[in-house]
């Protein structure tokens, strides 16, 4: 199967700082990438859909100015959590699709802790 990586796997930051999470498709070109958030013992909630070269589409209730998404190339999408607060602490997971593939392939996730 295809490989999707995320970096970093864990990050701890102070309240008010910004954190960037990278999602890379390592062996295929992903025309679409998705960002999900998962709170402890809860389900994955789609935050936004990111298409290469265009603006991301955010789900209802997700602040686009707080969660900045950039899909600059067919193998890289970034999620920046701006002015992070403790309530942003969560597990962030990306997935990549497209390039002729039927399924989405998920990254290993990034655990963000805001102190």
Q: Which parts of this chain interact with another protein (CB under 8 A)? A: 1, 32, 34, 41-46, 49, 91, 93, 95, 97-98, 102-109, 111
Whichever of 78 and 109 has its CB closer to another protein, that residue is 109
CB 27 within 8 A of CB 3: yes
* Number of Cβ atoms within 10 Å of the Cβ of 12: 12
Whichever of 66 and 111 has its CB closer to another protein, that residue is 111
Whichever of 29 and 82 has its CB closer to another protein, that residue is 29
């Amino acid at each position: 199967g295809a490989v999707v990586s995320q970096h970093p796997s864990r990050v701890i930051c102070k309240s008010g700082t910004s954190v960037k999470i990278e999602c890379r498709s390592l062996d295929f070109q992903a025309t679409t990438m998705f960002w999900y958030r998962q709170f402890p013992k809860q389900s994955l909630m789609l935050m936004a859909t990111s298409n290469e070269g265009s603006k991301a589409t955010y789900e209802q209730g997700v602040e686009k100015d707080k969660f900045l998404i950039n899909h600059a190339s067919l193998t890289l999408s970034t999620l920046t959590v701006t002015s992070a607060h403790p309530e942003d602490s969560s597990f962030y997971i990306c997935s990549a699709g497209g390039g002729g593939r039927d399924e989405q392939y998920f990254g290993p996730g990034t655990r963000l802790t805001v102190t």
